[in-house]
Amino acid sequence: MRETTPREDLLRGIWKENPVLVQLLGLCPALAVTNTVPNSIAMGLATFFVLLGSSFLVSLMKNWIPAEVRISAYILIIATFVTIADFVLAAVVPVIHKELGAFIALIVVNCMILGRQEAFASKRPVGRALLDAAGTGAGFMIALLMMGTFREILGNGSVMGYSLFGDNFEPWIVMILPPGGFFTLGFILLSFGWWKDRQAETSHVRQWPHGVASGEEAL
Amino acid sequence: MKELPTVQADGGSSDSGPPRAPQVASVKLMATLAVAGAVAGLLIVLVFQWADPQIQAHRAAALRAALLEVLSGPASYRSLYVSPAGLSMTPPAGVDTVTAEKVYIGYDDAGDVVGYAVTGGEPGFQDIIQLIFGYDAGQGRLLGMMVLESKETPGLGDKIFKDLDFVAEFQGVTAPIKGVKLGAGTGADNEVDMITGATISSRTVIDIINHRLEALGSALEEHVPEPPPPPSASSAEEPPAGDEGEERS
């Protein structure tokens, strides 16, 4: 695999290989809990924390984890951090914890997190793994925030609960319901693809190979 | 997958290797997972120690709000301890006040009994569903139902608390409740329409209520209500000090 610079490791996940918008990973929470901005932030932060902690531990212990049981070990590490995040959210923000419900526990099976362990953290030094996790986690949070803002504005006429349009606005209830998640994701992916095409047309110098992810990192 | 730091030098999987090699490996594999599991367990326990009191406090506040809701806003309420002898205001001997089984009795402004709030929990589709319901023992009717905790499937099972039509059906229904498929009801007083696509979750809600009333038996009917608490001691607006600990579910 091609050597990457620390800067690339950090920035790659935020935009060029954004887990949701480009790699299409972690779509379950991205569709399910982005109906409001607070929910998106809570889910983004919880996932960020789990990803950072798991990447740190996996990278730290990569030489002690036998290859045969590596997936079990990764899942164990991820599940530990998810349980911690679950307790912390329940203790600090019980309302949001209740709103997110089962989706907190389901962070364990977010393939984005396991993917980063298998593809990156288990092969790289701790520092790089942390940079990659921070970038990917931030990218995930950005994607969730984009969806959450879009859906809350249209579906509820508000941002963070603050009403934007006054009483005459008729909210598009469908946007905060599950179909709204698909509409929003489709719309954002469409805009994203259009923007990338424009970029490719106008720019001849590209820093990274175009595409979803380099071959060995795609799961 | 191809760049793993693997130790399989023979190229074969560990199953097809010589019988001696996997034995050495399996000890190491088990040791790795055992150590990792122990460390994970320790971490979780430490965080739980910190988080548990706060979670319990939130839960107690939620329970208090819920019991006011299912008793339709009583003027005051008391906790009653459940024992084989019936309901009493003092805990049965040798029972911890925190873990003791309790029901709550609500009074209206005139000091008359509104009804009893009873909690219960049973496994639903995903995890244990915890709920509270208000019960008018004199008329054998429910006053309302509220789900306290559930991890039922979002979009399907979670309708047991998100579908307000379903929740509203528990107001005034007579016990024991009979769950009927949507549209199959005969209009009887004890029928509740179950949620299409969430049969197990809605069936569990009905079962919890029926089983709890069955378990309490005639204790609720036979209970001779004490007078309502004096307004200053335990009014609904101002729960007594130390209530957080007592109200644990």
Contact across the interface for B154 and A64, Cβ inside 8 Å: no
Query: Smallest CA–CA separation between B20 and chain A, in Å?
Result: 17
Query: Smallest CA–CA separation between B121 and chain A, in Å?
Result: 17
Q: Is B37 part of any domain? A: no
Q: Taking all residues of chain A, what is their mean pLDDT, rounded to a whole number? A: 84
Tell me, what's the pLDDT at B24?
54
Contact across the interface for A92 and B54, Cβ inside 8 Å: yes
Contact across the interface for A66 and B1, Cβ inside 8 Å: no
Q: Is B3 part of any domain? A: no
Contact across the interface for A103 and B154, Cβ inside 8 Å: yes
Residue B98 has pLDDT above 80, yes or no: no
Contact B234, B106 (CB under 8 A): no
Q: How far apart are CA A144 and CA A133, in angstroms?
A: 16
Residue A213 has pLDDT above 60, yes or no: no
Tell me, what's the pLDDT at B149?
84
Tell me, what's the ipTM?
Answer: 0.71
Contact A61, B4 (CB under 8 A): no
B1 contacts in chain A (CB < 8 Å): 118
Q: How confident is the model at residue B41 (pLDDT cuts 50, 70, 90)?
A: very high
Q: Tell me the CB-side half-sphere exposure of residue A87, using CA atoms within 13 A.
A: 17
Q: Does B54 touch chain A (CB under 8 A)?
A: yes
Contact across the interface for B2 and A62, Cβ inside 8 Å: no
Tell me, what's the pLDDT at B46?
94
**A95: closest chain B residue by CA:** B58
Crossing angle of helices A178-202 and A126-156, rounded to 10°: 120
Tell me, what's the pLDDT at A210?
52
Q: Is B11 part of any domain? A: no
Total of domains in chain B: 1
Q: How confident is the model at residue A27 (pLDDT cuts 50, 70, 90)?
A: confident
**A177: closest chain B residue by CA:** B155
Contact across the interface for B32 and A102, Cβ inside 8 Å: no
Over the stretch A124-178, which tens digit does the pLDDT of each residue have? 888 899 999 999 999 999 999 999 999 988 888 888 878 888 777 877 878 878 8
Contact across the interface for A68 and B44, Cβ inside 8 Å: no
Q: Is B15 part of any domain? A: no
Q: Taking all residues of chain B, what is their mean pLDDT, rounded to a whole number? A: 79
Q: Is B23 part of any domain? A: no
* Position with higher pLDDT, A116 vs B4: A116
For residues B153-167, give the mean pLDDT: 82
Tokens of B182: 């949507």
Domain that holds residue B166: 51-246
Kindly give the pairing relationship between strand B141-149 and strand B128-136: antiparallel
Query: Smallest CA–CA separation between B210 and chain A, in Å?
Result: 26
